[in-house]
Amino acid sequence: MGSQQSAVAELTADILNEYAELTYLNKAEIIELFKNWIDIMELVNNRDPVFAARIPFDIIASFYLQLQHNPFKDRLCKVFSTGMDGCFSFEDLLDLFSVMSHACPNNVKANWAFHIFDFDEDNGVGVEDIMEIAHRLTTGHCDNYPDFQLDDNTKRSIAQTLLSQLDLESSGKISVLAFAHGIGKMANFGSLFSFRV
């Protein structure tokens, strides 16, 4: 416990103020995430300096229920890992929780959601991306029907319907601007694309 207290002391008032200015998190949320970060570092016996440590995302995800059961967990790792190495720094963790914060504006959330849903990373959400989204959102997640799955024809039909409404450039893909525009029409997007510290 003493090592946690000394590590928490590294989160100076200046650093805390800077993180509060650069994220959509309040100071209490930042402190809570920092304490969790120290606990995770101790769990894996990581002796790196607190702000230089990189921890495998799977270990971090096991620490948070909202990540453990997220059908897009792998994409959250890919998009928010600045080292693109399957690991997170403390600042990567802050970025993720900042975007998923209820205080984050919908236009910022929409931009990050676009990158999460662009599975093939071709700067457009196309048919295959939408089919993958539908698959992840439905497979095994229906309590009354645990084996429920959409067949490929249904997923493709959903994708074509979305593209017909959102592919403003007729490119066969939804651009980031069209995606943000479409998301802007969803009144509850901000609350659905959120979780708490």
- Pairing state of beta strands 125-126 and 173-174? antiparallel
In a domain? residue 197? no
Question: 62 and 13 in one domain?
Answer: yes
Question: 80 and 136 in one domain?
Answer: no
pLDDT attached to residue 46: 93
Per DSSP (E only), the strands in 68-172 are 87-88, 125-126
Task: Tell me the two tokens of residue 127.
Answer: 């048919």
pLDDT attached to residue 21: 98
Q: Which residues of 24-39 are buried (b: 16+ CB within 10 A; e: fewer)?
A: bbeeebbbebbebbbe
Q: Which domain holds residue 11?
A: 2-99
CB 106 within 8 A of CB 183: yes
Counting DSSP H helices and E strands in the chain, the numbers are 12, 4
Question: 81 and 39 in one domain?
Answer: yes
pLDDT in tens, the chain (197 residues): 445 556 667 899 999 999 999 999 999 999 999 999 999 999 999 999 999 999 999 999 999 999 998 999 999 999 999 999 999 999 999 999 999 999 999 999 999 999 999 999 999 999 999 999 999 988 865 555 556 778 999 999 999 999 999 988 889 999 999 999 998 888 899 888 999 89
Q: CA end-to-end span of the chain, whole Å?
A: 22
pTM above 0.85, yes or no: yes
Q: The CATH number of the domain where 85 resides is what? A: 1.10.238.10
How far, in Å, are 4, 99, 136 from residue 80 at the CA level?
Answer: 25, 10, 19
pLDDT attached to residue 72: 96
Please say which residue of 99, 131, 146 terminates a domain: 99
Question: 91 and 11 in one domain?
Answer: yes
pLDDT attached to residue 1: 44
pLDDT attached to residue 186: 87
Number of domains forming the structure of the chain: 2
In a domain? residue 70? yes
pLDDT attached to residue 79: 98
CB-hemisphere CA count at 13 Å for 131?
Answer: 12
